């Protein structure tokens, strides 16, 4: 996940490998289905470092930089221009990877399980801060309505 606000001082992305170390990587490396998500009025502070890293990766014969097909490529093309040439677009693994039924030991057998997943990156840009105060209340109300054991 590319995220302009957390520990991305070296690379401009969450995989914060300093450039001098990136240049020492000899093994085949795939940056797979990376997302580039900015919210309204969010400023991407390390775009030049991100540009440098992407340009390096896409020039290497043993490296691939791919983004998921959720609009990330278009956003990177807008931000980086021709420096985004060579980025590969792939299906979003969160949406298009087939699954098979299996046991889920984390689920309580004999109970209705309620799972809430809210992406943790930029959480206050995704939803208002007041939302987080109400999450426990939501859970309690759901349980009351469902008359859960």
pTM: 0.64
Residue 37 predicted with pLDDT over 90: no
Contact yes or no for 109/87 (Cβ under 8 A):
no
Query: Any idea where the domains of the chain sit in the sequence?
Result: 19-96, 100-149
Contact yes or no for 39/125 (Cβ under 8 A):
yes
Helix (H, G, I), strand (E, B) or coil at 67: strand
Give me the residue label for tokens 């007041």.
130
29 forms bridges with which residues in the sheet? 63
Alpha-carbon torsion angle 108, 109, 112, 115, nearest 10: 40
Helix (H, G, I), strand (E, B) or coil at 135: helix
Summarize pLDDT for 88-100 with one digit per residue, the tens: 999 887 776 667 8
Q: What would the DSSP string read from start to end of 18-65?
A: -HHHHTT--S-EEEEEE-B---TT---TTHHHHHHHHHHHHH-TTEEE
> Which of 85, 87, 92 shows the shortest CA–CA distance to 68?
92
Summarize pLDDT for 48-81 with one digit per residue, the tens: 999 999 999 999 999 999 999 989 999 999 989 9
> Which of 119, 143, 11, 30 shows the shortest CA–CA distance to 2?
11
Compute the distance between CA of residue 142 and CA of residue 117 in angstroms, rounded to an integer.
Answer: 15
Largest CA distance in the chain: 58
pLDDT-derived band at 36 (thresholds 50, 70, 90) equals confident
């Amino acid at each position: 996940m590319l995220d302009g606000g957390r520990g991305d001082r070296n690379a401009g992305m969450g995989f914060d490998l300093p450039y001098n170390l990136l240049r020492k990587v000899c093994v085949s490396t795939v940056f797979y289905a990376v997302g580039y998500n900015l919210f309204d009025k969010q400023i991407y502070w390390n775009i030049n470092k991100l540009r440098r890293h992407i340009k390096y990766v896409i020039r290497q014969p043993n490296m691939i930089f791919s983004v998921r097909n959720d609009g990330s490529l278009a956003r990177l093309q807008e931000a980086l221009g021709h420096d985004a040439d060579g980025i590969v677009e792939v299906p979003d693994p969160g949406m298009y990877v087939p699954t098979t039924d299996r046991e889920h030991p984390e689920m309580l057998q004999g109970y209705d399980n309620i799972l809430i997943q809210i992406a943790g990156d930029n959480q206050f840009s995704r939803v208002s801060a007041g939302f987080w105060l109400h999450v426990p209340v939501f859970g309690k109300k759901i349980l009351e309505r469902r008359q859960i054991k």
